[in-house]
Structure 1
Amino acid sequence: MRHATTIAATAVLLCALTACGSSGGDGDSKPAAASHSPSPSVDPATAYLATAQGIAFTGTQPTDAELTTLPPQWCTGLNDGHSVEWLFSSGGGALYPNGMNWGTVKKDAYQLVAAGVKAYCPKYLDSVTAELRATGEY
C-alpha cells in the first residue's frame, strides 16, 4: 500500500512539473516571462513514509495512517519542550512507534522519530538528533 501511495504521489508531482514546463505558444508569439513561483513542496507524509518503508517492523506491517499519526504528535510534544525520551515514555507522551500488532526496536524507533521531525517540524531536528546520538543507539 505504501508503494502505491508513493508511486501515486510521484506521478502527481511529475504531472505537475510537466504541466509547468509546457508552452502554449504558436511559435510566433513572444516567449512568456519567466515566473518565479516556488517549487512544489514535498508532502511531509511522503518523505516520512519513504524512511518508514526501510524499517523492519516487528509483528505485522503498520498502515500509513498508523504511522502518519505520530509525527504531528511528536512535534507538539517537542514544541511543548519535551524530549524524545519523554515522548516515548509510558508515563510521558506514550508516543513510541508501535501498535496493537506491530512495533519497532529502539534503533528503528529513533530512525522514525528523526524522519518524522525532519519532515514535519525540522526546527527541532538538531536537538532531536543530538539527544538520540547521546543515547549511543542512533
Structure 2
Amino acid sequence: MRRTVTTVLLTTTLALTTAGCGDSDSGKAEPRPSKSTVYKLQSDDQWKQSINAAGITSWTDGAAPTVDEIEAMPKDWCKALKEGHSVQWLLGDGGFYPIGEDWGTSKSEAHKLVVLGAEAYCPQQAGRVKAELRRSGGY
C-alpha cells in the first residue's frame, strides 16, 4: 500500500510539473515575433548609431563633421552607387571622400563609413561595396 501511495504521489507530481502546475497557458507555444513586429531602425538612426559604435578615431583628434555633413554622406554615396560607380570612384574622382575644411577621415575609416552608410541607406548595394573593398584590401 505504501508503495502504491508513493507511486501515485510521484506520478501526480510529475504530471503537474510537466503540465505547468495547472497554468492555463500550458501546452501553448511561446509567441514568436513576426517580420511585422520586429523593430527596424530608420536609416538615419541606424547610420548615427553605427558611426557612434564604430569609434572613428580620425574625428577624435581634431574637429568632427557637423550633423548636416554626417547625414549627407551616405545619401550621396548611395546615389552614386546606384548609378554604378565604385567605392574607389566615390572616394576619389567622385569627390565624396568624408573630409571637411577642418576635419578629415583616414582611408580605412572612410572605407568603414561607406560600408556602414550602404548598410543603412542602400542595403542592396552593401554586398557589392564589401566585395569591392575586400578585393582591394580595404575591408
The interval holding the TM-score normalised by the smaller chain is: 0.5 to 0.7
The offset of 1:134, in angstroms, is 1.4
Partner Cα distance (1:106, 1:51) in 2: 18
Match of 1:70 in 2: 73
Match of 2:36 in 1: 38
**TM-score scaled to structure 2, two decimals?**
0.66
Classify the secondary structure of the residue corresponding to 1:129: helix
The offset of 1:37, in angstroms, is 9.0
Match of 1:113 in 2: 114
Match of 2:49 in 1: 50
**TM-score scaled to structure 1, two decimals?**
0.67
The offset of 1:63, in angstroms, is 2.0
Partner Cα distance (2:136, 2:91) in 1: 14
Once structures 1 and 2 are overlaid, which stretch shifts more, 56-65 or 79-88?
56-65
Partner Cα distance (2:97, 2:114) in 1: 9
Partner Cα distance (1:118, 1:85) in 2: 17
Q: Runs in 1 of length 4+ with deviation above 6 angstroms?
A: none
1:26-81 Cα deviation digits (max 9, x unpaired): xxxxxxxxxx8934531211111222221112430212221110111111101111
Q: How many residues in Structure 1 have an aligned counterpart in Structure 2? A: 101
AA partner of residue 36 (structure 2): P
Q: Is the 8 A contact 1:74 1:95 kept in 2?
A: yes
Partner Cα distance (1:46, 1:55) in 2: 17
Partner Cα distance (1:100, 1:122) in 2: 30
Match of 2:95 in 1: 94
The offset of 1:116, in angstroms, is 0.3
Decide whether aligned partners of structure 1 residues 84 and 37 sit closer, same or farther in structure 2, where only a CA change above 3 A counts: closer
Residue segments in structure 2 that go unaligned for 5+ positions in a row:
1-33
AA partner of residue 78 (structure 1): L
Q: Does 1:104 align with 2:105?
A: yes
Identical aligned residues as a percent? 39
AA partner of residue 80 (structure 1): E
